[in-house]
């Protein structure tokens, strides 16, 4: 039973890599799926899907934002014998007005959630808030290292969630009973404004880091002037807009519901991640 393969998509990413590590530590048989994997898995090349799914009973599914591929992938997975899917989705999927039409991740997650619910096999859905790791290994890292994070987030706060907690919930859902048919809203234990978040990183690292609030228009103009595609810049602004509109500050109880313990606090994340901001 234990030797059935668990497929981890997004295996080189922030949650997938952690899920992989935790599963391997338990001695479970895992297959790491990404374009760098062996066999190579590419969401955009359906010819690579079957080899990734060969012999797999359980899938950790990190979708490809901007595409509606979760549904056909889950359908194929079920045809090939998959019995359980744990889907990484996003916060606000079921909240009217949370994400605008320009938000490409929103459409992916709405369709992906319904595909998983319709699949006929066991499923668990994870809806994380913004990851704390955006500051240490993600989209904010370069700006933090440069000392200035410019975002259209106003003075909105976010209950950032630690990717280690997301991975721990995913692994519980992949390997234990009691999580099927559940949707876990995942956040950290408190909300911080972006200014407070970078101040915490400054305090631990000694780096001078400031947050500069921009209007969405100025943000998009800066990104496009720096070479970003207009659509990509608009999507980024749209993804940040719930923060500015106060829709990302609530604290969710999914980590406690799934794991029976509190989520990791942002300060502890900063202390544990200090190496990311050195050098
Ligand atoms: N970041 C956040 O704060 C946040 C918050 C809530 C929800 N989410 C959701 O979490 C998901 C992951 O986002 P993330 O930004 O954190 O990314 P990530 O998981 O850190 O990285 C993306 C992963 O997908 C893989 N990938 C990319 N293109 C691929 C392709 N064509 N075929 C196969 N694999 C591919 C990448 O591997 P290779 O490049 O090696 O192929 C990588 O492992 C998204 O659906 C996002 O909406 C993110």
Q: Give pLDDT tens digits for 153-200.
A: 999 999 999 999 999 999 999 999 999 999 999 999 999 999 999 999
- Note the pLDDT of residue 3: 57
Position 239 scores a pLDDT of 93
Ligand 1 atom nearest the C-alpha of 15 is 19
Q: DSSP letter for 217, please.
A: H
Q: Which two tokens stand for residue 101?
A: 């039409």
Instruction: Please say if the pLDDT value at position 117 is more than 90.
Output: yes
Determine whether the shortest distance from the Cβ of 128 to ligand 1 is under 6 A.
Answer: yes
Average pLDDT of 20-49?
96
**Pocket of ligand 1 contains residue 90 by CB under 6 Å:** yes
Residue pair 77/86 in contact by the 8 Å Cβ criterion: no
CA 43 to centroid of ligand 1, rounded, Å: 11
Per-residue pLDDT at 102: 62
CA 129/CA 38 separation, integer angstroms: 31
In this predicted structure, what is the pLDDT of residue 28? 97
Q: How far apart are CA 30 and CA 21, in angstroms?
A: 10
Question: What is the Cα–Cα distance from 165 to 133, expressed in whole angstroms?
Answer: 11
Nearest CA to ligand 1 atom 17: 13
Compute the mean pLDDT over every residue in the chain, rounded to the nearest whole number. Answer: 95
Cα Rg of the chain, angstroms: 19
Per-residue exposure over 68-98, b if at least 16 CB sit within 10 Å of its own CB, e if not: ebbeebbeebbeeebebbbbbbbbbbeeeeb
- Concatenating the DSSP letter of every residue in 1-21 gives -TTSEEEEESTTSTTHHHHHH
Question: What pLDDT, on a 0 to 100 scale, did the predictor assign at position 279?
Answer: 62
CA-nearest residue for atom 3, ligand 1, is 130
* C-alpha of residue 63 to centroid of ligand 1, in Å: 7
For the Cβ of 159 lying below 6 angstroms from any atom of ligand 1, the answer is: no
Domains identified in the chain and CATH numbers: 5-277 (3.40.50.720)
Across 100-209, the runs of DSSP E, i.e. the strands, are 122-128, 148-151, 157-158, 182-186, 192-193
> How far apart are alpha carbons 138 and 123 in whole angstroms?
27
CB 84 within 8 A of CB 122: yes
Do residues 274 and 204 make contact, with C-beta atoms less than 8 angstroms apart? yes
Number of the ligand 1 atom closest to the C-alpha atom of 91: 6
**pLDDT class of 1 with cuts at 50, 70, 90:** very low
pLDDT in tens, 195-212: 999 999 999 999 999 999
Distance CA 143, CA 135 (A): 9
Residue 115: what pLDDT?
Answer: 98
Distance 203 CA to ligand 1 centre (A): 29
* 134 ligand 1 Cβ < 6 A: yes
State pLDDT tens for residues 81-109. Answer: 999 999 999 999 989 888 766 667 788 99
Can you state the angle between helices 16-25 and 163-175, rounded to 10 degrees?
A: 50
Extract the tokens encoding 151. Answer: 């975002």
121: Cβ–Cβ under 8 A, 6 or more apart, which residues? Answer: 78, 82, 83, 84, 85
Cβ–ligand 1 distance for 65 under 6 Å, the answer: yes
Question: What is the reported pLDDT for 237?
Answer: 95
Q: Is 16 in the pocket of ligand 1 (CB under 6 A)?
A: yes
| Shortest-distance Cα residue to atom 12 of ligand 1 | 62
Per-residue model confidence (pLDDT) at position 186: 98
Write down the pLDDT at residue 97. Answer: 86
pLDDT tier for residue 79 given thresholds of 50, 70 and 90: very high
| Strands (DSSP E) found in 36-140 | 56-61, 84-88, 122-128
């Amino acid at each position: 039973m234990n030797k059935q393969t668990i497929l981890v998509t997004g295996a080189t990413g922030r949650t997938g890599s952690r899920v992989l590590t935790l599963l391997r530590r338990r001695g479970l048989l895992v297959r790491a799926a990404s374009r760098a994997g062996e066999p190579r898995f590419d969401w955009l090349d359906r010819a690579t899907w079957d080899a990734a799914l060969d012999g797999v009973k359980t899938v950790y599914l990190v979708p490809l934002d901007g595409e509606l591929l979760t549904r056909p992938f889950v359908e194929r997975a079920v045809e090939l014998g998959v019995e359980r899917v744990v889907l990484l989705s996003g916060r606000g999927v079921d909240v009217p007005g949370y994400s605008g039409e320009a938000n490409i991740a929103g459409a992916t997650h709405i369709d992906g959630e319904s595909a998983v619910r319709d699949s006929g096999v066991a499923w668990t859905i994870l809806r994380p808030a913004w990851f704390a790791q955006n500051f240490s290994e993600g989209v904010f890292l370069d700006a933090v290292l440069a000392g200035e994070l410019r975002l259209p987030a106003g003075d909105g706060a976010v209950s950032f969630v630690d990717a280690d907690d997301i991975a721990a919930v995913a692994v519980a859902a992949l390997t234990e009973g009691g999580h099927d048919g559940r949707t876990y809203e995942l956040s950290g234990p408190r909300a911080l404004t972006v200014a407070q978040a970078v101040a915490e990183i400054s305090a631990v690292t000694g780096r001078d880091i400031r947050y500069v609030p921009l209007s969405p228009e100025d943000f998009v103009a800066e990104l496009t002037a720096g070479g970003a595609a207009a659509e990509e810049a608009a999507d980024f602004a749209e993804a940040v807009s719930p923060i500015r509109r106060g829709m990302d500050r609530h604290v969710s109880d999914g980590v406690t519901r799934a794991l029976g313990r509190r989520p990791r606090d942002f300060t502890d994340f900063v202390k544990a991640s200090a190496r990311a901001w050195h050098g």
